[in-house]
Amino acid sequence: MRLEKIVGPDSRSVIEKIRRSFGDEALVISNSRSENKNEIIVAIEGDGLVDVVDLVKEPLEIKQIPDKEVTDTDDQRANITLDILRKELMEFRSEMEKMTKKTSPNWLYKPKLSSSHQQILWSELEEIGVPESMRKAWIDAIPSHATPNEVVDHIVSVIHNGLIKPEIDISPGKNLLIVGNPGSGKTSMAARLAARVLERDTEGRVAIVSYCDKRLGSWSTCQVIANRLGAESYRIQDPKELKKVSEELGHGVMIIDTSGANTKEHITAIEEILPNVTVCPVVACDSSESSTREILNSVGEEKIHSVMLTRMEQNHVPWETLGVLLEKGMSISSGTFGRDVADHNQVKFDTELAKKIENLVCEDFDVEWAINHNQIPMDMTPRASS
């Protein structure tokens, strides 16, 4: 087995050259674009060192990445991680202060509830982790005479009508930009969306682009996922190259995966080249309220099409994240359930996503348990005194 590197003006001509030279048995190891050329490395049967076939008859240049560039990237990632950790600690301190006030005899805050039934409901929502702002909104909207089932129906309705957005448009010719904090599941979301496109159109072209991501192993992961799906993969540092890839894809779909660093700068640069790109931040369901606010603020609310949730297979309602999205009037267009990035069935949209969240809410807000333990009466209608 040996490796061959083929360079050409575009991926189509390079692939044609590979087929003519090595047949359909050649295994594509990587596909990247730099300096107006496509470079594809394939593995073929045989011995020997790496051979180079250059369609444009230019000498191969091996560029050494300066240590300073790598160091700067590592510093950026470290600063982002420290910033997130600092905000998480501040959020934790704030929550601890609230708990201290609650246990203090001098704590005077009490919600204005019209009946003991609403007080029970308030405690139940607090118990399952619903943020205070959401509890206040729901208590005001839910009639005091509502039954537990009606309470759940109301909560599900608020989530469905206020949060769930129709499936994001990933039709031919669309460009999608995925952003988010490091480790939030951006690459796995990109893979599932690519699988979704290919499942609908087996003859379509989909490209997963690793954009300005110098993290160790990120490009290799992108290549492995793309090869498994049958998608194309590109590694791009210059936003101008995105335009060329988009033009080459024609009616194909380009999904741009970012590193999580310099998010706002990357969005601005990409929008100058691809003004119609759809921007979707990815938020993990185990993210804290401060982490969710951080990514939304770093992107800019006016630029966000919708939010994508990951790690929903953990079987708990991301109340803090949902609370932030409801507060900001933002919608969710997709959610992932499961760990197989190549399984298009593990990403849910629209009605399916709403049903999944509804099931999680019903599990969290266990009506049957509450009724059996007399925490919430079946009939919450206030009774007149005898």
Domain regions of the chain by residue span: 2-54, 113-164+353-373, 175-348
User: To 10 degrees, what angle do helices 319-328 and 132-141 make?
Assistant: 70
CA distance 37 to 11: 8
- Residue 178, pLDDT score: 94
- Residue 117, pLDDT score: 62
Residue 222 has pLDDT above 70, yes or no: yes
List the one residue out of 225, 226, 258 whose CA is nearest residue 242. 258
Using CA atoms, how far residue 386 sits from 31, 308, 383, in Å, is 80, 54, 9
- Residue 308, pLDDT score: 92
Query: What is the residue-averaged pLDDT of the chain?
Result: 75
Residue predicted with more confidence, 354 or 179: 179
pLDDT-derived band of residue 381, with 50, 70 and 90 as boundaries?
very low
The single-letter code of the amino acid at 313 is E
- Residue 384, pLDDT score: 40
- Residue 206, pLDDT score: 92
- Residue 179, pLDDT score: 93
User: Hey, is 145 helix, strand or coil?
Assistant: coil
Mean pLDDT value across residues 226-250: 88
pLDDT-derived band of residue 272, with 50, 70 and 90 as boundaries?
very high
CA distance 345 to 125: 31
Within a 10 A sphere around the Cβ of 15, how many other Cβ atoms?
19
CA distance 152 to 362: 7
List the one residue out of 17, 40, 37 whose CA is nearest residue 29. 40
- Range among 48-52, 270-274, 285-289 rated most confident: 270-274
Q: pLDDT above 70 covers what percent of the chain?
A: 71
**What digits encode the pLDDT tens for the residues 168-216?**
888 888 899 999 988 888 998 999 999 888 888 878 889 999 998 887 7
**What digits encode the pLDDT tens for the residues 47-77?**
433 333 333 334 333 333 344 444 455 566 6
Residue 143 has pLDDT above 80, yes or no: no
pLDDT-derived band of residue 30, with 50, 70 and 90 as boundaries?
confident
- Residue 374, pLDDT score: 46
What CATH number belongs to 175-348?
3.40.50.300
For tokens 């009724």, name the residue.
371
Ranges 263-272, 348-357, 372-381: which has the least confidence: 372-381
List the one residue out of 167, 166, 168, 189 whose CA is nearest residue 178. 189
CA distance 14 to 31: 10
pLDDT-derived band of residue 257, with 50, 70 and 90 as boundaries?
very high
Mean pLDDT value across residues 214-240: 86
Residue 137 has pLDDT above 80, yes or no: no
- Residue 291, pLDDT score: 84
Structure tokens at 29: 């190891």
Residue 80 has pLDDT above 80, yes or no: no
- Residue 253, pLDDT score: 92
CA distance 344 to 305: 21
Q: How many residues does the chain have?
A: 386
Within a 10 A sphere around the Cβ of 111, how many other Cβ atoms?
13
**What digits encode the pLDDT tens for the residues 93-132?**
666 665 555 444 433 344 555 566 667 777 777 777 777 7
- Residue 56, pLDDT score: 39
CA distance 5 to 304: 39
